[in-house]
Amino acid sequence: MKPYFFLLLSLTVGLNTWAQESIPESRYEKKSVMIPMRDGIKLHTVIFLPKESQEPLPFLLSRTPYGVADAAFPERSQPELAREGFIFVKQDIRGRYLSEGKFEMLRMTRDPIVPNSIDESTDTYDTIDWLLKNIANNNGKAGIFGVSYDGWTSMMALIDPHPALKAVSEQATPADWFINDDMHHNGAFRLSYGFDYAFMEEAGKTDTLFPFDTYDNYEWYLRLGPLSNVNAKYFKNTIPTWNNFVNHPNYDAFWKKQSLLHRFENRPLTVPTQHVAGWYDQEDFAGPLFMYELLEKKDRNKLNYIVIGPWNHGGWSRGEGSSLGNLQFGVPTAKNYRENLQLTWFNYHLKGKGDGQFAEATIFQTGANKWKNYNSWTPKQAVQQALYFHPNGKLSFEKPVPSTTNLFDAFISDPANPVPYRSRPIEQTYGPGSRWRTWMTEDQRFVHHRPDVLSWETNVLENDVTISGKVLAQLYASTSASDADWIVKLIDVHPDMVKENRQMSGYQQMVAADVLRGRFRKGFETPLPVKPNEVNAYTVDLLQADHVFKKGHKIMVQVQSTWFPLIDRNPQKFVPNIFLAKESDYVKAEHRVYRSGGYASRVDVMVVK
């Protein structure tokens, strides 16, 4: 949930007091107001009004915890939408920056029977209601959109939508902080992000970076030792979200109540909603996929749509989008989205322009580097096939023959020497020089020959292989200890020599990757120790891909048990709560991945012929 930093202006504002400013080149007038909510709290709101408009215009609302006082004029922040003409409204959510009230991370949904109870949905409702009554020359319609936390507030507007809310574009919303997205992936804690983000949002009313005294965060987190040292040495129990991590190590009622999956489980979709995701989103890739899939089950009126492009977190909202890291796409994908998908979406639903014929799923197919329109996501024509692990590091669509020898590949996993998730030094997530935004595009050769990373790869492909849809790793594995993490990466290996772009020669491009904490192999509610040396089945959800492995490339799978400090170190000795583990709980272990007979480990992909 990437924050956007702003310098605060010293403003004294009230309900009827407007602070005006303008820039010579802008067609918009910027005004600030405090909008009252039903419980009397006032929220700081910046409104950009077109100076000249011949027609009533709709509102485009964004609600954020990242500060709006210094928000850029629309020509700079949303030039494609600004040229068309909307009334832009940006708001500090409750308890952040210049808004009154108390901030609560991912505020829980209110109990509607409690008088004047509030949540982000009621704050959105009250804001729209005030705008309709107090801003002249509006057409009675509103849309809401935003990236990350702002995408989450966009989804929360749907809990109890105002009748004037006619269009939503949630972009990279988190859906469930334990199952996936920012803070956990399949029960494994995302240490470097969770630590940084919790401090940044809750150490003060404005964004505050943690003062690391070591540039390489890999080294800092390793020296930190067990997670129990965080409160003991640094946070001192003052960061509510960190305390929630410590107090809720399993998928309990707290996480379920916070999850959008549970909030929307029994709610019909009544407002047209566009879900936007990026294949290389380092923070919230799963949220839009999960919410699209959940709402699609009950979409009877064609209100639910999805867009996925080759972007990192929020990459569609800025720049051209013709490249990311070392990857080149050949077309301005972000600009395409803003002009042809986002603008068209709001023009139709808020202004009645266009024919409203939106593709169910608009997906950028990586590898082939082209946009695809699908009638369903995932495509019905895709057929599941398995990529099996074989001896000698071979990977194949052919199932291995039964054998009584050479049944597994093994490695030693040492929590004292974890595998880094990107090349070192690992800069602070949002600190100076950070490469956080592009790490998912990084060449995986930097860990390829580590003894604690297993690899299997196909022969050179004689034909293109296209996968579209879900990617699931089915591992059969054992450990000499009583717990283990399992990280699986599906990789596109480029040819040994790429003459037209030599830096891509032999490049190991990550297509999909994720982790499963072994204690949660049978469910996230109840952790279970692993019996030492017993073979267990582990299903690692790698989410989705739409990718063409081109002729002349190879397909690779890597398996490892540490991914540091993206994921905290599993002690590998089972303890009830890893956040309270002691240094002595961290032990070396031998892990085995089986690949024969009834224990044929594989990665299941959806292949399109």
Contacts of 406 by beta carbon, 8 Å cutoff, 6+ apart: 391, 596
Look at residue 448 in the predicted model and tell me its pLDDT.
Answer: 95
pLDDT for 7 beyond 60: no
Q: Please provide the average confidence, as pLDDT, over all residues in the chain.
A: 95
Q: What is the pLDDT of residues 315-325, one digit of tens each?
A: 999 999 999 99
Q: How far apart are CA 378 and CA 381, in angstroms?
A: 9
Place of tokens 């410590």: 246
Instruction: Spell out where 37-82 has E strands.
Output: 42-50, 57-64
Q: Give the whole-number percent of the chain exceeding pLDDT 90.
A: 93
Mean pLDDT confidence for 183-203:
97
- Tally of CB atoms within 10 A around 496: 10
Q: Write out the two tokens for 414.
A: 């040492």
pLDDT range class, residue 1, cuts 50, 70, 90: low
Look at residue 544 in the predicted model and tell me its pLDDT.
Answer: 98
Q: What is the pLDDT of residues 241-299, one digit of tens each?
A: 999 999 999 999 999 999 999 999 999 999 999 999 999 999 999 999 999 999 999 89
Q: Write out the two tokens for 4.
A: 């956007």
Rg of the chain in Å (alpha carbons): 25
Phi, psi of 317 (to 5 degrees): -95, 0
Q: What is the pLDDT of residues 466-493, one digit of tens each?
A: 999 999 999 999 999 999 999 999 999 9
Pick the closest to residue 593 from 448, 482, 456 (CA basis): 456
User: Where is average pLDDT lowest: 41-45, 121-125, 406-410?
Assistant: 406-410
pLDDT range class, residue 597, cuts 50, 70, 90: confident
Look at residue 14 in the predicted model and tell me its pLDDT.
Answer: 35
Mean pLDDT confidence for 523-551:
98
First-to-last C-alpha distance (Å) of the chain: 36
Contacts of 404 by beta carbon, 8 Å cutoff, 6+ apart: none
Contacts of 37 by beta carbon, 8 Å cutoff, 6+ apart: 43, 94, 101, 118, 122, 123, 126
Q: How far apart are CA 558 and CA 447, in angstroms?
A: 10
420: left (phi over 0), alpha (psi -120 to 50) or beta: beta
pLDDT range class, residue 402, cuts 50, 70, 90: confident
Look at residue 20 in the predicted model and tell me its pLDDT.
Answer: 42
**H or E, element range at 229:** helix 228-229
- Tally of CB atoms within 10 A around 273: 23
Q: Give the whole-number percent of the chain exceeding pLDDT 70.
A: 96
Q: What is the pLDDT of residues 354-363, one digit of tens each?
A: 999 999 999 9
User: Where is average pLDDT lowest: 12-21, 28-37, 197-206?
Assistant: 12-21
Q: How far apart are CA 433 and CA 436, in angstroms?
A: 9
Look at residue 445 in the predicted model and tell me its pLDDT.
Answer: 98
* 280 and 302 Cβ atoms separated by less than 8 Å: no
Look at residue 24 in the predicted model and tell me its pLDDT.
Answer: 57
pLDDT for 143 beyond 50: yes
Pick the closest to residue 516 from 554, 548, 484, 557 (CA basis): 484
pLDDT range class, residue 9, cuts 50, 70, 90: very low
Place of tokens 């009827």: 16
Q: How far apart are CA 345 and CA 357, in angstroms?
A: 10
Taken in order of first residue, the domains within the chain and their CATH numbers are 17-165 (3.40.50.1820), 265-377 (3.40.50.1820), 383-608 (2.60.120.260)
pLDDT for 580 beyond 90: yes
